[in-house]
């Protein structure tokens, strides 16, 4: 359930830019620079510590992450740091060009939330999700790959857009 599969010659080109996790996925990188993306902060939802603008949310303490709930999840259990989760996703650049999708591989990505196994925009943007929930995450460069280009597909200083779907939380039944 790793991220995208790269041919060995492409992995060598990307490997120096990847975190110490030996997973060839665009999500498994740690940014090194701090850039910013403008965001809005109208109204705060205390339960999730999100700010909402219609169906969009931002996290006040994390400038550069915008969350849009596209479909509500089921049950009461929400993701939190330390949860082992399965997430389907599609990642695109702001010009609409797709750079990765778990849907294309037919299996979701598995990782532990809040442990730095994925980009910071994911670690923060997937908190508070319920199983079955779909979110669109717009992630500023400093919460993704910063000033580093990745795999010849993601240019340096790119804002990334992900359509995400929480498929499961280890140990939690759908509807719990």
- 26 among known catalytic residues: no
- 39 among known catalytic residues: no
> Which of these is catalytic: 26, 39, 111, 162?
162
Are 40 and 31 a contacting pair, CB within 8 Å?
no
Catalytic residue among 83, 145, 154, 169: 145
Annotated active-site residue 99? The verdict is yes
Q: Which one from 28, 39, 50, 89 is the annotated catalytic residue? A: 89
Q: Among residues 135, 134, 157, which one has the least CA distance to residue 36?
A: 157
Query: How long is the chain?
Result: 176
State the catalytic residue, choosing from 26, 28, 67, 100. Answer: 100
The verdict on whether 162 is a catalytic residue reads yes
- Quote the radius of gyration of the chain (alpha carbons, Å): 15
To the query of whether residue 154 is one of the catalytic residues in this protein, the response is no
Q: For residues 67 and 55, what is the distance between their CA atoms, to the nearest angstrom? A: 8
* 103: annotated active-site residue: no
Catalytic-role residue among 4, 59, 67, 119: 119
Residues identified as active-site: 89, 99-100, 119, 145, 162
């Amino acid at each position: 359930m790793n991220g995208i599969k790269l041919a060995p010659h492409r992995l060598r080109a990307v490997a120096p830019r990847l975190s110490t996790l030996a997973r060839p996925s665009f999500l498994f990188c740690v940014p090194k620079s701090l850039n910013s993306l403008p965001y809005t902060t109208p109204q705060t939802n205390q339960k999730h510590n999100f700010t909402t603008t219609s169906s969009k949310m931002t996290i006040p303490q994390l400038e550069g992450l915008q969350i849009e709930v596209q479909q509500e999840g089921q049950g009461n259990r929400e993701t939190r740091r330390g949860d082992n989760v399965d997430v389907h996703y599609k990642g695109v650049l702001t010009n609409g060009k797709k750079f990765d999708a778990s849907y294309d591989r037919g299996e979701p990505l598995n990782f532990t939330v809040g442990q730095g196994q994925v980009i910071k925009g994911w670690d923060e943007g997937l908190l508070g999700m319920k199983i079955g929930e779909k979110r669109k995450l717009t992630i500023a460069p400093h919460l993704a790959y910063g000033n580093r280009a990745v795999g010849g597909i993601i240019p340096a200083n790119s804002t990334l857009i992900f359509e995400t779907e929480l498929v499961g939380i280890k140990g939690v039944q759908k509807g719990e």
